[in-house]
Amino acid sequence: MKWIDHESYIEIYPPKEFNFEECLIFLGRSNQEVLHQIKEGSLYKLIKVNESLILCKIGSINHSIKVEFPISSPSIDSRKKVAEYIWEWFDLDQELGGFYQLAGQDKVLKTLAHKYYGLRILCIPDLFEALVWAIIGQQINLTFAYTLKKRFVEQYGESLTFEGETFWLFPSFEKIASINADDLRKLQFTNRKAEYIIDIAKAMINGGLTKELLLQKNDYQQIQKSLMMIRGIGAWTADYVMMKCLHQASAFPIADVGLHNALKNLLGLKEKPTIEEIEEYAENWGGWQAYATFYLWRSLYDKKI
DNA sequence: ATCCAGGAACTGT
DNA sequence: ACAGTTCATGGA
């Protein structure tokens, strides 16, 4: 991680292939998002480190990321943790040179890679948040998924109000492990989703499910297998979480409906492609399937036909 | 009203 | 191993 501490603010230096504005477009895709807000080109995000809530104002200057602290500057140790969070959020450990090289010769990715150059996977560094968001998104439309997430966060998350605006933190697994399925049904979660989510929270309380344990496996197949042993996590969810939380560039949620729609629009197909057809398109995406998928998702947000 | 949504578990063969 | 069914509800 490259960063410089200026006490009242910090600066983060991303790798060459980075465009903050492109990332902001993706982050602004839903007007129902509660976990960050975008105002006048700046991104506001509440982060919890060392048991304290820190409001961050994140902007871009001269190819670096500037993080200010509108309420008060945290300790040096906390500032470093904030930098680490943001580094991970924007997937800045990834060197995208290989992806762009491959994309330049790929008929599906060529245009996208050029058009959205510098876009990175916007990650969900917190494992519990990534799992819950994926489960919420299963088999329902995204608008309703955001509604459920908003209710969940506003019911069980911590918050902080500054200058009349309220900023939210995703609920902790400790909190969710202490509620029961009926509580979530009141928010219009289905019984199954409620059970999946609470079971996962309990597994995380026990310490049997952590990001560190998953990353220790350090092998795509092994991680996928461990995730899929958990009730409520199938192939799609496992790949989604590996992509958005575990930084696995080979993760490929091939059954994803958004991916199918993006390919259909982009290629002007009459029907959504089959899995076999997608495998053919993806023949040369080896090692970068997650980025290919993410750029295709991005294309859904400026191509309303 | 009808179809389907950023799926997964369950059931029967 | 594989295919069909059920879960459940809001959005377009």
Question: Does A147 fall in a domain?
Answer: yes
- Whether the predicted pLDDT of A6 surpasses 50: yes
Mean pLDDT of all residues in chain A? 96
Selection from A198, A33, A51, A185 nearest residue A43 by Cα: A33
Considering A106, A126, A239, A256, which one is annotated as catalytic? A256
> Where does a domain end: A72, A93, A114?
A93
Phi/psi-derived region of residue A276, left when phi > 0, alpha when psi is between -120 and 50, beta in every other case: alpha
d(CA A226, CA A215): 11
Strands, sheet with A37-39, edge to edge from the N-terminal-most edge strand: A3-5, A9-12, A64-68, A52-61, A42-49, A37-39
Q: pLDDT value at position A209?
A: 97
Residue A231: domain span: 127-244
**CA A22, C1' B13: Å apart?**
51
Judgement on whether residues A87 and A193 belong to the same structural domain of the protein:
no
Judgement on whether residues A136 and A197 belong to the same structural domain of the protein:
yes
Judgement on whether residues A80 and A142 belong to the same structural domain of the protein:
no
Question: Does A255 fall in a domain?
Answer: no
- Whether the predicted pLDDT of A229 surpasses 60: yes
Q: Can you tell me which residue has its alpha carbon closest to the C1' of nucleotide C6? A: A192
d(CA A80, CA A267): 44
CB atoms closer than 10 angstroms to residue A43: 22
Q: pLDDT value at position A303?
A: 56
Which CATH number does the domain housing residue A86 bear?
A: 3.30.310.20
Single-letter amino acid code for the residue at A49: V
Question: Does A264 fall in a domain?
Answer: no
Q: pLDDT value at position A288?
A: 98
Q: pLDDT value at position A268?
A: 95
Judgement on whether residues A233 and A131 belong to the same structural domain of the protein:
yes
Q: Which residue matches tokens 């290989």?
A: A98
> Where does a domain end: A244, A262, A286?
A244
Q: What is the maximum span of chain A, computed from C-alpha positions, in angstroms?
A: 56
Let me know: does A272 contact A264? Beta carbons within 8 Å.
yes
Buried b / exposed e over A249-267, threshold 16 CB at 10 Å, is bbbbbeebeebbbbbebbe
Q: How far is CA A5 from CA A18, A156, A183, in A?
A: 21, 33, 43
- Protein side of the strand C interface (CB < 7 A): A 139-141, 143-144, 147, 188, 190-192
**CA A201, C1' B2: Å apart?**
37
Full DSSP string of chain A: --EEE-SSEEEE---SS--HHHHHHHHTS-TT--S-EEETTEEEEEEEETTEEEEEEEEEETTEEEEE-SS----HHHHHHHHHHHHHHTTTT--THHHHHHHTT-TTHHHHHHHTTT-------SHHHHHHHHHHTTTS-HHHHHHHHHHHHHHHS-EEEETTEEEE-PPPHHHHHTS-HHHHHTTT--HHHHHHHHHHHHHHHTTSS-HHHHHHH--HHHHHHHHHTSTT--HHHHHHHHHHTS--TT---TT-HHHHHHHHHHHT-SSPPPHHHHHHHGGG-TT-HHHHHHHHHHHTTS---
> Where does a domain end: A244, A277, A295?
A244
Annotation says A91 is catalytic: no
Average pLDDT of the residues in A152-159? 98
Question: Does A288 fall in a domain?
Answer: no
**CA A191, C1' B2: Å apart?**
25
**CA A178, C1' B10: Å apart?**
28
Judgement on whether residues A71 and A131 belong to the same structural domain of the protein:
no
Question: Does A224 fall in a domain?
Answer: yes
- Whether the predicted pLDDT of A304 surpasses 50: no
Predicted confidence (pLDDT) per residue in A61-79, tens digit: 989 999 999 999 999 999 9
Q: Which residue matches tokens 């091939």?
A: A254
Judgement on whether residues A16 and A87 belong to the same structural domain of the protein:
yes
Let me know: does A242 contact A223? Beta carbons within 8 Å.
yes
Let me know: does A3 contact A119? Beta carbons within 8 Å.
no
**CA A82, C1' B4: Å apart?**
40
Judgement on whether residues A143 and A226 belong to the same structural domain of the protein:
yes
- Whether the predicted pLDDT of A153 surpasses 70: yes
Predicted confidence (pLDDT) per residue in A82-141, tens digit: 999 999 999 999 999 999 999 999 999 999 999 999 999 999 999 999 999 999 999 999
Q: Can you tell me which residue has its alpha carbon closest to the C1' of nucleotide C11? A: A141
- Chain C bases closer than 7 angstroms to a protein Cβ: 7-12
Q: Could you give the number of structural domains in chain A?
A: 2
- Protein side of the strand B interface (CB < 7 A): A 29, 137-143, 145, 192, 230-238, 240, 244, 255-258, 261, 297
